[in-house]
Structure 1
Amino acid sequence: MPTSSASPAPVPGRYRNDLTLFLGIAFATSWLAWGVAVAVGGESTEPPANLSYTLGAFGPLIGALVIRIRRRRRGEAVPRHVVAFRRRHLLWAPVLMILGSATVVLAALFGYAAGGPALSLDSAREMAETMGGPVAFLGGMLVSGPLSEEAGWRGTAYPRLRATMSRFQVGLLLGVVWAVWHLPLFFIDGTPQHELGLASASGVLFAVSNVPMAMLVAAAYDRAGIVAAIGMHFAVNVSLVSLGVTAPETQAMLIGIQSIAVVLVLATGRGTGRPSPRTAVPETAYVPESTART
């Protein structure tokens, strides 16, 4: 009787283990670092709180790196819903970044019409001065958020959740997880969340806005991979900070507009999160890191 190689563990179970480990590392790293920032006190942009505040942002990235190393050591396959990097994605990233910024600008315009504040770049100028100039401002916005998070939320958690859930379900779940992950920031002086206030209408709307935002960034990931997810996250964050979006009217508009944008991106994109025959990955095969990302 012919012998066969041992079959791998069931994919859903393996992915659940990966997700549990990833979320544990992401939350433990971020919340512990942010807890230290709360304990030492002071502004998030000033020492000693600044170091812990900055480190906390990298919890998802650290979790993603651990899962990636773990998968490589086990010789496991790349999850089939991972969107492998392609050079054409670099062309899509600016388009999706414009879309992300447009959702914020439109929300500000409609919010103003509904009684909110007028559009102003005063917040951007103040932030740039605080951080040492426009280049430092944009660099900080890129590192803290897009680069420190997207390899985790979209590059690691999203494909594994897609193994058993629809894009809507994954977007909803990650949006809720994202909102919970941000909670300690409400207690650190100098953060946008602290300025909003946890129990205020703006604070509640910020938490709710994590859901359409998670769906929008995930739609960008489905369309053009991790580069697009980072670009979308960056564009929205820069626009939010630059326009000083804090008023409930504007935030409510943003939730609605980003929800519409999600529908448009999904409707016009060819990708469904499933690999095409050209890029399909057998779930029992190992794929070199040079051709796919976690």
Structure 2
Amino acid sequence: MFLAVAFVAAGACGAVQPATGVPPEVVQLTQLGPAVAVAAVALLWPGRIRERLAGTLPGRARARTGAPARRAVALLLTPALIIALCAGGGLLTSGSLPVTSPRALAAHPLALVVTAQLLGACAEEIGWRCYLQPLLRTRFGPVTASAAVGLLWGLWHVPVFAQEPAYAAGFLLATTAMSVILGLALEGVRSNRLLLAGGFHTLINLGMLYVTDESAAATAPMLFLGAAALAAALPWIATARRAAGAAPDRITVATAPVPR
């Protein structure tokens, strides 16, 4: 239900965007698709949606401390690493960096672009990381659930597959790797999940818009983005494996046979 509505709503929003006059470089209305899908699920199963969306918004509980807080900080620093790796790849192969000055988008103030990008990213993330990720997490481990969400997230970007196969492959690698980063970073975080995921997503989109040219439908930059996201995901996976060795996954514990 969620996926069907997310795909259809995104297509409908994309179709009406030209009539709204909203520039796609400011925000793409297709990003509203997952939020519409969450609303549809909430209408049909309100009890279930409350359970899955727990921790989405700021909570009344005490401030985050320990590992979740450190992961939250690391999560918001990771986009800088990904964009830096993309920029380095571009410099090594082409000798130049296609930086876009905010003045080039003078018709759209930087504050407006940042705000719109954050709203669009949160509209996506309330579906992918705040609803679907916790739902799959009840059945699978964090890496498996995150990778599955990332693959679906990538496939949801249907226009990507109008490009050549290498471009689509780079994009799917990027969404899957970034979803793993998000899933592992948000594991155990019980408040502000939407803002953290939306912040990460926004920083990636702004980096693609202003620092690199992954948004220009060129194959090489998209392959750099996929490789950079994978490189950034590896330390997260290694850290999660070390933590799992010290504390078994709750799904493994729940399904382990009871000693007789």
Q: TM-score, normalised by structure 1?
A: 0.65
- Return the alpha-carbon distance in structure 2 between the equivalents of residues 150 and 76 of structure 1: 15
Deviation at 1:258, TM superposition (A): 1.8
1:49 is displaced (CA, Å) by: 6.2
1:280: which partner in 2?
Answer: none
1:147 aligns with 2:115: no
The answer to whether the aligner puts 1:119 opposite 2:93 as a matched pair is no
Identity in percent = 19
Query: In structure 2, do the counterparts of structure 1 residues 179 and 78 end up closer, same or farther at CA, with 3 Å as the change threshold?
Result: same
Q: Does 1:264 align with 2:235?
A: yes
Structure 2 CA distance for aligned equivalents of residues 30 and 123 of structure 1: 29
Q: Is the 8 A contact 1:172 1:215 kept in 2?
A: yes
Bigger-Rg structure (1/2)? 1
Relative to structure 2, which stretch is displaced further, 48-57 or 242-251?
48-57
Partner of 1:136: 112
User: Are 2:44 and 1:65 aligned?
Assistant: no
Q: CA deviation at 1:75?
A: 7.2
Alignment of 1:1-294 (within 5 A): 21-34=1-14, 36-37=15-16, 47-48=19-20, 50=22, 54-72=28-46, 74=47, 78-79=51-52, 87-88=63-64, 93-113=72-92, 115-116=93-94, 118-122=96-100, 124-126=102-104, 128-130=105-107, 132-144=108-120, 146-184=121-159, 198-199=163-164, 201-222=166-187, 224=189, 225-246=193-214, 247-268=218-239
Q: Contact 1:217–1:233 (CA<8 Å) still a contact in 2?
A: no
* Residue in 2 that maps onto 1:41: none
Alignment partners' CA distance in 2, 1:237 and 1:153:
16
Determine the C-alpha separation between the residues in 2 that align with 1:117 and 1:243.
14
Offset at 1:134? 0.9
CA distance in 2, matches of 1:76, 1:123: 41
Structure 1 residue 164, shift from structure 2 partner: 1.4
Amino acid at match of 2:206: V
In 2, the alpha carbon distance for the partners of 1:92 and 1:112 equals 30
Q: Compared with structure 1, are the counterparts of its residues 110 and 220 closer, same or farther at alpha carbon in structure 2 (3 Å cutoff)?
A: same
Q: Deviations over 1:227-261 (max 9, x none)?
A: 32111111111111111333544433332332232
CA distance in 2 between partners of 1:179 and 1:49 (Å): 26
Tell me how many residue pairs correspond in the alignment.
231
| Residues 204-239 of structure 1, C-alpha deviations (whole Å, 9 max, x = no match) | 422432211222222232264333211111111111
Distance 1:250 1:199, change over 3 A: closer
Aligned to 2:256: none
> Following the alignment from structure 2 to structure 1, what is the Cα–Cα distance between the partners of residues 156 and 72?
26
Q: Which amino acid aligns with 2:201?
A: H
Q: Look up the SS of the partner of 1:155 in the other structure.
A: helix
Distance 1:199 1:94, change over 3 A: same
Alpha carbons 2:86, 2:212 under 8 Å: kept: no
| Conservation of the 8 A alpha-carbon contact between 1:150 and 1:230 | yes
Identify the structure with the greater helix proportion.
2
Structure 1 contact 57–148 (Cα < 8 Å) conserved: yes
Matched to 2:119, the amino acid is V
The answer to whether the 8 A contact 2:147-2:180 is kept is: yes
Q: CA deviation at 1:30?
A: 1.0
Greater RCO, 1 or 2 (C-alpha within 8 Å, sep 6+)? 1
Q: Distance in 1 between matches of 2:42 and 2:231?
A: 34
TM-score normalized by the length of structure 2: 0.72
Give the conservation status (yes or no) of the 8 Å contact 1:124–1:244.
no
Output the aligned Cα RMSD: 3.5
